[in-house]
């Protein structure tokens, strides 16, 4: 195929072209058609297909996660039942407001029963939470190390929830065995209707302050 032969070709009379030129021209036209088809249609289809593949992969992962959760559901349900039972037991350990005086007597008797001497037994201001209240009591008691340890152990063994915090123990002057223990005993009880109203009012006031 010479350049001179190409120059002599008549574009308007393709039938007169030599066979090699016809084949070459057909190949060029076919290539252009294929390229145009790929660029205008097939390329978009490939992009869509890749997106569908990625979506299918995401769906597979989501399915496997949900399948695992469904298989673990009986375990979660059993754990939830256990938590509910534990929570119910703890709730039963919370006295109502009318039982608090009896609980304070139990605390005092626990100390006296161990031979302790109370220098201070001062109930503090009650603190309200969502469904319960904390009633702190500041105490100062004198006794030996074993008496104090047994007293704290007795408080933990009470049928109602009682906690001991802010514990501070110091030796008494002039004696080698006696100690002075300062602590905050916390007792708990259910909130009654009035206390729940106070809690709601306190929450609303806090929300107003935060918005202000």
pLDDT, tens only, 164-174: 989 999 988 77
Higher pLDDT, 143 or 27: 143
Place of tokens 């039972």: 85
pLDDT score recorded for residue 149: 92
pLDDT score recorded for residue 172: 84
pLDDT of 186 above 80: yes
CA atoms within 13 A on the CB side of 118: 17
**pTM for this one?**
0.48
- Of the CATH numbers 1.10.357.10, 3.30.450.20, 3.30.70.60, 3.40.50.300, which one belongs to the domain with range 97-211? 3.30.70.60
At 163, list the tokens.
């906690």
At 79, list the tokens.
């754990």
pLDDT of 115 above 50: yes
Which range has the worst mean pLDDT, 14-28, 55-69, 76-90, 144-158?
14-28
Query: Domain spans of the chain?
Result: 1-92, 97-211
Higher pLDDT, 51 or 154: 154
Asked if residue 147 lies in contact with residue 177, where contact means CB atoms within 8 angstroms, the answer is no
pLDDT score recorded for residue 210: 42
**100-113 and 145-156 are packed helices; what angle lies between their axes, rounded to 10 degrees?**
150
Give the mean pLDDT of 67-82. Answer: 82
**117: part of which helix (H) or strand (E)?**
strand 117-123
pLDDT score recorded for residue 51: 83
Place of tokens 């754990």: 79
- 1/20 Cα distance (integer angstroms): 8
pLDDT in tens, 31-70: 777 777 666 666 677 777 778 888 888 888 888 888 887 8
pLDDT score recorded for residue 208: 45
- 37/77 Cα distance (integer angstroms): 57
Mean of the per-residue pLDDT values for the chain? 76
């Amino acid at each position: 195929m010479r350049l001179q032969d190409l120059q002599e070709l008549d574009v308007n009379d393709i039938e007169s072209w030599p066979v090699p030129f016809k084949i070459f021209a057909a190949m060029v036209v076919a290539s252009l058609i294929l390229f145009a088809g790929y660029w205008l249609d097939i390329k978009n289809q490939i992009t869509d297909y890749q997106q569908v593949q990625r979506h299918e992969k995401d769906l597979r992962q989501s399915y496997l996660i949900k399948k695992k959760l469904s298989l673990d559901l009986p375990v979660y349900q059993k754990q939830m039942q256990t938590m509910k039972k534990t929570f119910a037991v703890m709730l039963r350990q919370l006295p109502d407001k009318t039982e608090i005086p009896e609980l304070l007597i139990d605390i005092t008797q626990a100390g006296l029963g161990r031979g302790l001497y109370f220098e201070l037994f001062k109930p503090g201001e009650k603190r309200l939470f969502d469904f319960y209240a904390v009633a702190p009591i500041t105490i100062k008691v004198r006794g030996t190390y074993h008496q104090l340890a047994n007293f704290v152990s007795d408080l933990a063994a009470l049928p109602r929830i009682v906690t001991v915090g802010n514990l501070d123990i110091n030796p008494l002057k002039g004696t080698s065995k006696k100690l002075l223990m300062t602590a905050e005993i916390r007792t708990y009880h259910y909130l009654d209707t009035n206390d729940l109203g106070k809690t709601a009012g306190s929450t609303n006031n806090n929300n107003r302050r935060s918005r202000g």
